[in-house]
Amino acid sequence: MITLHIRGSLPQELLNTFLERAPASARQDVMRLVGLTIGANTSSAPSSFRDRARAYWVHRLSAAKASNDRSRFARKVGSIGPWFLWGVDSDWLMEQLLDALAGGYAPNDLYTVIGGLAKLGDDKIDRVVEVIEALATSESYNRYAFMVQPAELRKILSAGKKSGFEQTRSRVERIVNVLAAKGEDSFLDLLE
């Protein structure tokens, strides 16, 4: 169904019916396909498909943020995590993740998100640290969530500590303190 929508050949009323009636697992699978389409190699998928997939994501995120029934959208919006594996533009993806977190939604797969963020270059460290701060302060995660990628998280925080921007360095301190308050104190040495 979503493939037809992305290709521009599905009437909107059929898509709306699907979104109203489909089980959560089917809607979550749709978001995985949307992420794969957004990250598709330019030679394998026309840009119009990626544009429609992006528009679908933005529309569904807006609907999720406006909804009173957060549980209806949580797993679907949380499907953004694996997108870090699929070649989605990192700047756009970090912006979308920050928007989702600000709306009270969190990725289902923090392991993949932190791993993906750790692979981004130092030229993106300020934005990466901003995303890590939003993840660390999210009520969706406890200390154990941040213990699964200690080397990658330390790499990000260490690079952020060396940033030329005071705001990024302050964010690193806040992240370390928030994690320590949650019981994850293995990064306290970064405050020295």
Specify the higher pLDDT residue, 145 or 151.
151
Torsion sign over Cα 60, 61, 64, 66: negative
For the chain, give the percent of residues with pLDDT over 70. 97
pLDDT at site 45:
63
The Cα angle at residue 44 between residues 62 and 63, in degrees rounded to 5: 5
| 14-36 tens-digit pLDDT | 888 888 898 888 888 888 888 88
Asked whether the beta carbons of 23 and 75 are under 8 A apart, the reply is: no
Q: Higher pLDDT residue, 166 or 139?
A: 166
| Range of weakest confidence among 9-13, 98-102, 187-191 | 9-13
> What's the pTM?
0.89
Please report the pLDDT score of residue 113 as a whole number. 97
